[in-house]
Structure 1
Amino acid sequence: MASYLESSINKGSDFDFSCFTCQENERNTEAEFYCEECAKFFCGKCVKLHNSLFKKHATLGKVNISQWPENNVDSQELCQEHKKEKLTGFCEDHSELICHACHINNHQKCSHVVHIADKVKNLHQKGDFKQLSATVKTQQQHLIHKKDDFEENMKSLEKSYQKILEEMNALRKTINDSLDLLEKNTKKELDTLLATMRTSIQTDIEICSKSITNITCLEQDLQTIKDKSEALSFIKYRKCLDQSHNVEAVLQEMTYKNERTLTFNPATTIQQTLSTLSGLGQILSTVKQSQPAKRTTQNTETRQNKLSASSKSDTENQTTPGFKVKKSNPESSSSRQYSTGNQTSDVTKSGHVSDPVASLSHLLIQGCQPGGVIEPDPIIKVNRSKKYNVKIVRDSSNCFISGICETATGELLISDYDNNCAKLLDQTFKVVAHCDLPDSPWSMCSIDSSAVAVILNNCEVHFIRVTNGQLVKNKILKLQHSCTSIAHHKGNLYIAGGSALYRYTVVGRLMVSKMYENTSDLWTVGACAVSPDGDRIYVANLTSNQLVTLSRDGTVISRFTDPALDWRWNAHSALHVTDSGQVLVCGVRSRKIIQVDRDGRQRLAEVVTEKDGVTYPSSVYYRKHTGSLIVGMSGNDDIIVFESQ
């Protein structure tokens, strides 16, 4: 280190051209001559030796400096901090290239500072330059192969795209042909019925006409009866009487024949199935994880490790030149499938999800097999249930449980909309404490180990902390917009209300003005929820009865519709995402709670319904550690606790 320090100090002169020979001997001397043949600079002393060795070489002195090269130092050799200084050393303690000024100012106390020339000599001796060159060439070949593979993949994608278009057209034609056949069969049935009814009515008309003719003739004969003989008169009388009886019988029979009509009772199954679809099928994109490329040589890695150990540098953050591969999540599989489009599907009795496109095809064409179905999330199933009364003495109205949550330490809280309060429940679901609120609470969410946030009808967020079994108000956040729902994830508050979804920090700073917006009406956005990893945000669209799923940056991933989402402008829609990422949706008017897949594309199950005692569910919460599903309702003093299977 001392020799390098001395040479660095000697290099303190501020000039543009240095003597080549002196630099080779670790001195920094200003150049006075330039040899075009050698393409090197020399000082006055070294040029004498040069001239004695190369007598035919012409040298240019400073009088001809305009003919010298602009600079004898490559731009990559210059220090970024000290612009005119050449990089001449390497600090192994900090793994930095340095010039003499860097060494004096910042690296005098470093214990491993070496000259670049020595470093290069060492690398040449070990063969690392050759090995690195071989590694780079190998990597270049790998990149070329990868590029070729990607180009082939691009061509394959284009072919797949055209094939899918052809399959879509074929499916559409099949469906159209099937619909045409159904229409033809229905029209044939209509024609047959019309012909039958026409024949029946025509027969009745002919009977009436014949009877009219007969009874008219007899009536005329009766008028002339006085001019005939007694025998003839009696004969005509009897014929007229018999004909009158026949007409009476015909009229009596016709009174029982109601007016014949034709009506059409459409097959609603087709329309219902079509209404649940947003496309002809699912477009699946499979990304296969390729095996990482093997190390070029084991010797390279070994030498790198030895070099790092000898220089005492941080080996954990260094790799051999090559691709940097991000470690995969242990829970992820070797390939993942993504689907586009907004798909809904019905759950069969066996618990399997049926593809609605396949169901329609099966409905129209016998023998058509269902299409591919994505593996569903774990479905929540419940069995026994018990009701717990949460009404307390100070309540003036029936309870309206608008929110349920628990702190990180397990305290369970509920918000009571009609009684303007938050309540703390013990392990037996008995109310042990409450906190009065200045207005009706819409919903609540957990913030940390002992605090929750409650959003009120007066556009305020109240933070409440559980302290020694009591609910203590902490702080208040006032908003400038309407609000009906709140969710929290890692310091971010997602607040829905009016026609938009906003994102705040827990201290009240607005991060994103509007993550999602629907301006079709003044009150369109109801509940909101966020997945445990923060990658999915769920919003209840009240105007279209849709569950809208957003990505972390607010991009719409899917829109899901279902008869159970019967919110109809009811802002008390409720969503809940479990710790495992299962999505639960309350259908307030449908009196159901359904489970939807994580991407918000299809229904997985009806978790509980009115048959289970659920009426106007306004909140739902799943406690993972107890395996229980808690349902709060509107206008009901009881909460229902279901045990999961």
Structure 2
Amino acid sequence: MAVSGKKAPKHLLSSTTSMASDKDLQIYCQPCDEEGTRLPAHGYCTDCKEHLCQTCFAAHKISKLSKHHKLQDATNMPKVLQQPSPSFHTGQSDGLTTPCLKHSKELIKFYCHDHVEFLCSVCVTLEHQTTFCQVDYIPDISGDIIDSKEYQVILNALNTTSDKFQQKVEDLKKMAYKSNSSLKESLAAIKKFRQEINQRLDELERQTEDAAKVNEQDNNKHLKAAETTYEDINKSLKELSEKIKQLNTSKQADKLFKELKLAEKIMKDMEEKELKLSSYDIKEHHFKANVAILTNLKAEKSFGTLTQRTLNKKALPIQIQSRQSSHEGEIRVKTQQDKILCGIRGMLMLTPDLLIITDRNNNAVKMVDISSQSVSDQLQLDAGPWDITPVTNKELAVTLPYKRTVQFISISSNKLVKKHTMMVDGECNGISYYQGKFVVSFVNPAKLQILDRNGTTLTTIDGKNIFKLTHYVMCNKSSIYVSDSWMNTVTRLNWQGEVIGGCTGMGQPIGMSLSDDGTVFVCDLKENVIQEITGDCGTGKVVLKNLESPYAVCWCEETKKLYFSGWHRDEKNDNFLHIYKLS
């Protein structure tokens, strides 16, 4: 059994040390003693010149490397500690001079093929018995290694691995340079964009100033004419007044009568001129700011979007235009109630003839009649809505990001009616509903939440390391899809919130729509295309290209038509829904 206590002093382990009797000094197993375990010696190996405990003595008889050694039992073993085997430090085979990491007094002499480890004799005895491991004495197997095939293979592999790492470093340098260059270009584009905004504001300011200056010039012109007229009239009246006074003083009655009558006529003429001067329309001016400019600026969450495209990851393989498409026209969705350009952010196909859209810019939800190609009803909200999802065939839910609210809306007699609201704990953008559960995407910070119909949070998925800017979300029985316009990805998750797929390398994915067969239509705002991605996010194809900033999208399975809105900041694009038929 193990005996606790300190190791014997060094002078007791000397080769010159003798023992008077067994009672003077207990002899311990030398291999175990190296491990810090003190066990009484049970025998002795004359080949290894080591005392062995009962376990090591039994193992010595079995081991392939030691079973032919000469052993002595406790009665016949030396009663003094012996000098370690000469092979410990001297007479080693060429190159076997490396100490064992586990047993510092032993040298590496063996190799275990099963564990791919270098061993000393103690390691072999205690941990790698030859009945379980294929252990060889290194000099026995190293003789033919010089210039061998194995030597050449490993040397070539080392060189190949080195070349791969060098190439990786070079690739990273190139990608870092490309990334830094793209950042410089982006910063230059930001400054250019700001200059364009400033130039446009300067133009609008100049137009208003020029109009004011024209009014000022008109005022000065009429005032100058009035002053000249007054000076001429005043001079004539003074001269006539003096003449009448002189005639009265000189008692020239005939001439006085004539001049008085002439003065009466002149006075009537003066009254007409006075009325003409009074009739000039002098206006007071006040400046009324175009608040839509400021409102739009306040509504924007950023100066722009700095998109990222992964350089060292494989992008989704895209095929070009594998579907046949035909342009079916546009539907104007701007109404007389709208103050500014439409901002269509959410779309929902209620029936093949009825489409519901959200207009963020005009704080409205609109019902679009496909057959008449017009807005049949419009519901004004307290804030700009973003995304929309069906709850039942008569109930919808829309997100109000700045209110941190989900607004429920019912449909009755083809009219939209506001119902109750549901508060959420963040700036909610995307929303999708499936079998009693809402999936809502949030920004600032980016995250997903799965809620029940009462708004109770069932699952929260932190967007750290997954999302950056999650505008839209769609879900079905097996998957949740999230578009991220900052990470340039569409990510696929299961209902436990685990990422199970996705595609990278897109330009700027925004709005999405799910088809009945599980494919996902995605608007790429940067590339000006709409892609169709398989449900596992494995492959995709461009179904529409050369578009004008596609933003929100909706697929009608019955008619095989794709409806989408644009965000190009112009009347022709933003105020219309665009329709394409796919086959």
TM-score (norm 2): 0.44
State the structure with more CA Rg.
Answer: 2
